[in-house]
Structure 1
Amino acid sequence: MNLSPRNVGRRSSPAVHGDPRSATSPARRAGFGFVGLAVAFAVVMSFMTVPTPLYGLYSAKNGFSDFTITIIFAAYGAGVLIGLLLLGHVSDHIGRKPILLGSILVQIGCAAAFAALTGTDALIVLRLVTGLCVGVFSTAATAALTELYSSWRPDGRPALAQTVANTANLGGLAGGPLVAGAIYAATDSITAPYLVYVGLLTASLLAVALAPESVPRTAGDERWHYRPQAVRVDPQVRTPFLGAAVAAFAGFAVLGFITALTGQFLAHVGTPSALTTGVVATTVLTGGIVSQWVFARASVRRRLTVGAGLMAGGALLIGAAALAGSLPLYLVGGFLASGGNGLAFSSAVATVIAITPAQTRGATLAALFLAAYTGTTVPVIAIGALLLSFGMVSVTVAFAILIAITVPAGIAILVRNLHGSL
């Protein structure tokens, strides 16, 4: 998912001079920086899903309920929202590297704290802080990758940089559960995955430090004064925006369910180990990467339509998996739903960019991301509360039916208002 609500129309990266074959040429340095930042992006995002296969272990250790797990996960979504709205646009004015480096430094501290602290209150606070860092880091990293690619390959396809950014983002989120589950299986230590990530994040810090700055400061930036990111939707785009917001909210609710409650679903079907949870979560979340590449050249209209079908069908299969107690059905349904969300959300962002005036584009995209990340908090908490009174089967089936209705409805509104060129 591209988390960059305000860098569209930003000034372009500096021009490249010198022999591009030289190891010290700006083009070559931009190329190395692009690759290093892409890898660092994936590492940072994978750290966000490290707790996914460990929630069951925390629950057994601390004695908390499924509802508490959803609160811990929702803290992450709230942190992302805070980061996006308060700091997501700051790198436009002070440069990408200060934001990227500062975010990774905080993440290293969080990884060390996760290793040292296992109490419920500490988990909630640390998830909030790591979510905030994601909101800050992912916006700056997505923009920086586009700018570095432009300096490295001025005649290349800009869409490729966006695809790489989306792949690093989604690939990292998908890989975290598998890495954490495998490390726990090998060490039988709940702190070991975080200690490994202290090293991985430190290496990422070095990779970003070696990359060139893609947005040098100007005289205008020297006069810039901080203010929070505006959130606004122009009247002329409110109808298509409503469709995009509904689809984003519902799609991110599916991702929230998968990353927060996969372990609880596996306990329901009788296979609740950390490694199994990690493998299942990674397999399911990989759908968002595969769909991005398979439909990379498709029109926005087709991506939206296919995404709606995949999400609705995948959600219904998740519901069927709960009824049948079937892990294979859950894998297929989650994979399809994740793939559909990747298509639908990236296309919704592209549509909002195309139909919104440049002067209000950042504020409108911020509103779209607000809707999306609200989908990772409110529905997940509601599901956790319902699990206190109803069983996993009833709650999952009801959730699946709701998603299967709301996603196609929202995307239908959006598709009806598309420009002919999309």
Structure 2
Amino acid sequence: MPKPASIAIEDTPTARRVWLAAWPVMAVFVLSNAPTPLYVVWADSIGFSAGVLTAVFAAYIGGLLAALLVAGVVSDRVGRKPVLVPAVALAIVACVLFATAGSVLMLALARFLAGIAVGATVSAGMAAVTDLAGAGLRRLAALASSSAMVLGAGSGPLLAGVLSEAMPGPTVTIFVVEIVLLASALVAVIRMRLPRADRSAAARAWIRVPSVHPQGRTAVLLGIAVFAPGITATSFVLSLGPSVLAELLATTNRIVAGALAFVMFLAAAGVQFAAQRFPVRAVLLAGAASTVASMTTLVLSLHASSIALLAVAAVLAGAGQGMGQLGGLTSISANVPSARLAEANAALNVGGYVPAAVLPLTAGFVSDATGLVAGSTGFAVVMVIAALAGAGIVAARTRTSAP
């Protein structure tokens, strides 16, 4: 695949439209991780173990994957808005359920609906950003979409942690604020001037595992090879991070838990801006290396009972996810026709989120049986192997030319 050109971020009306179009992506992703620092509150009031906590987290990824099986296809066929408007509305419903949750079942349902909203936004929202960018600013569109995702994912837990400690209603206020953000996102979606959908593939199945245009298959494969270990590592921090802080490091402050997730995703966003001018091959290899370093540092933090090392592990995990995501989206946007773009984005995310659901869930129940240190160490070893394998795939498939 040809080496993509560098991004020139210019303050033009077109560039501003691209960044504005990324706002709904960010607003929905604020909800994706907002519950993270609140799990300790719900665990006290409702009562559940680390295994049940990761099962609640997995409900979110289950909803996300269900949406990815439909949203990309529907978005490419009927348009971005018919997918994005219901997605934002579902996110608002999820906020109401979170704010009133009194059982594990209600939490799981709220997480499931949030996952559907995020899955639809990943497919249609990111494709909408690329549509508005046009051919000349596709690299900028990939950066805007990816950074909006990680900034939203990081802002949610930080806001939740601060508001739950400083305001009454520790599990309510953040979701009231998020409803306001989502309402503004809904307005932004309605006002988007998007091209008409290409209905040439109308005979194809509506619900299926996302398929990738032949021109983009290598791009998706390379993205998954690095993005999957990276997002699985960050999913561990989001799902079991509060348990690690509470049980091993004796820290129950919700601002600390929220800040840990925030710095992780801040690193994911920052590294994308820093890496935007490098070839995709170099970005992907650096992402895999960052995930390996993250999991190594995680093991050290557990055995040393060090919050500082845990924070370093979170930052490195965020960098690994960010570079895997940026590399994958950049390569996809450069190689996949616009009419198949949302489905290709969905395929990348399916490949990433399946292990992000299964492996932390497994680690949670293994931790219930063997202890948090043993379960987390086993998870870290699996992630190191996966990240090294991903680096090997990238190196082998891009040996002759950078993607």
TM-score (norm 2): 0.87
Q: 1:363 to 1:115 in 2, by over 3 A?
A: closer
**Deviation sequence 1:230-272 (CA, Å, 0-9, x none):** 4458999999977754544322220110111111111120112
Pair 1:197-2:181 in alignment = no
* Structural RMSD (CA): 3.0
SS in 2 for 1:88: helix
Residue in structure 2 matching 1:166, options 146, 153, 165: 146
Could you tell me which amino acid in structure 2 is paired with residue 313 of structure 1? Answer: A
Pair 1:211-2:195 in alignment = no
Could you tell me which amino acid in structure 1 is paired with residue 86 of structure 2? Answer: G
8 Å Cα contact 1:92-1:215 kept in structure 2: no
Pair 1:97-2:103 in alignment = no
1:258 alignment partner in structure 2: 237
> How far has the Cα of 1:335 moved from its partner?
0.4
8 Å Cα contact 1:244-1:411 kept in structure 2: no
Question: Which runs of structure 2 are paired with 1:51-62 in the superposition (5 Å)?
Answer: 51-62=35-46
Q: 1:138 to 1:354 in 2, by over 3 A?
A: closer
Question: Which runs of structure 2 are paired with 1:134-145 in the superposition (5 Å)?
Answer: 134-145=118-129
1:369 alignment partner in structure 2: 349
2:66 alignment partner in structure 1: 82
1:319 alignment partner in structure 2: 299
Pair 1:310-2:290 in alignment = yes
1:48 alignment partner in structure 2: 32
Q: 1:363 to 1:314 in 2, by over 3 A?
A: same
8 Å Cα contact 2:146-2:325 kept in structure 1: no
Residue in structure 1 matching 2:98, options 95, 114, 117: 114
2:215 and 2:204 map into 1 onto residues whose CA distance is: 30
1:385 alignment partner in structure 2: 365
8 Å Cα contact 1:33-1:210 kept in structure 2: no
Return 66-75 or 234-243, whichever deviates more: 234-243
8 Å Cα contact 1:231-1:363 kept in structure 2: yes
Return 326-335 or 401-410, whichever deviates more: 401-410
> How far has the Cα of 1:157 moved from its partner?
3.2
Structure showing the higher helix proportion among its residues: 2
Q: 1:169 to 1:65 in 2, by over 3 A?
A: same
> How far has the Cα of 1:374 moved from its partner?
0.7
Structure 1 residue runs of 5 or longer lacking an equivalent are 1-26
8 Å Cα contact 1:356-1:364 kept in structure 2: yes
> How far has the Cα of 1:345 moved from its partner?
3.7
1:163 and 1:256 map into 2 onto residues whose CA distance is: 21
> How far has the Cα of 1:354 moved from its partner?
7.1
1:310 and 1:64 map into 2 onto residues whose CA distance is: 33
Residue in structure 2 matching 1:177, options 148, 151, 157: 157
2:162 and 2:49 map into 1 onto residues whose CA distance is: 24
Return 257-266 or 369-378, whichever deviates more: 369-378
Residue in structure 1 matching 2:322, options 330, 342, 349: 342
8 Å Cα contact 1:171-1:286 kept in structure 2: yes
**Deviation sequence 1:99-158 (CA, Å, 0-9, x none):** 2112111211221222122311011111111101111122111111122233xxx7x532
Could you tell me which amino acid in structure 2 is paired with residue 265 of structure 1? Answer: V
SS in 1 for 2:73: coil
1:22 alignment partner in structure 2: none
2:57 alignment partner in structure 1: 73
> How far has the Cα of 1:64 moved from its partner?
0.7
8 Å Cα contact 1:256-1:375 kept in structure 2: no
1:31 and 1:360 map into 2 onto residues whose CA distance is: 23
Q: 1:116 to 1:359 in 2, by over 3 A?
A: closer
**Deviation sequence 1:317-342 (CA, Å, 0-9, x none):** 11101111101111112101210222
Q: 1:273 to 1:346 in 2, by over 3 A?
A: same
> How far has the Cα of 1:411 moved from its partner?
1.7
> How far has the Cα of 1:66 moved from its partner?
0.8
Could you tell me which amino acid in structure 2 is paired with residue 312 of structure 1? Answer: V
1:413 and 1:352 map into 2 onto residues whose CA distance is: 17
SS in 2 for 1:388: helix
2:216 and 2:296 map into 1 onto residues whose CA distance is: 31
8 Å Cα contact 1:45-1:173 kept in structure 2: yes
SS in 2 for 1:376: helix
8 Å Cα contact 2:234-2:318 kept in structure 1: yes
8 Å Cα contact 1:43-1:172 kept in structure 2: yes
Q: 1:346 to 1:105 in 2, by over 3 A?
A: same
2:208 and 2:288 map into 1 onto residues whose CA distance is: 30
8 Å Cα contact 2:24-2:125 kept in structure 1: no
Question: Which runs of structure 2 are paired with 1:215-364 in the superposition (5 Å)?
Answer: 215-217=195-197, 220=200, 227-231=206-210, 245-267=224-246, 268-348=248-328, 350=330
Q: 1:158 to 1:248 in 2, by over 3 A?
A: closer
Could you tell me which amino acid in structure 1 is paired with residue 394 of structure 2? Answer: L
SS in 1 for 2:369: coil
Q: 1:95 to 1:356 in 2, by over 3 A?
A: closer
Could you tell me which amino acid in structure 1 is paired with residue 242 of structure 2? Answer: G
1:56 and 1:387 map into 2 onto residues whose CA distance is: 17
Quote the sequence identity (%). 26
Q: 1:84 to 1:116 in 2, by over 3 A?
A: same
TM-score (norm 1): 0.83
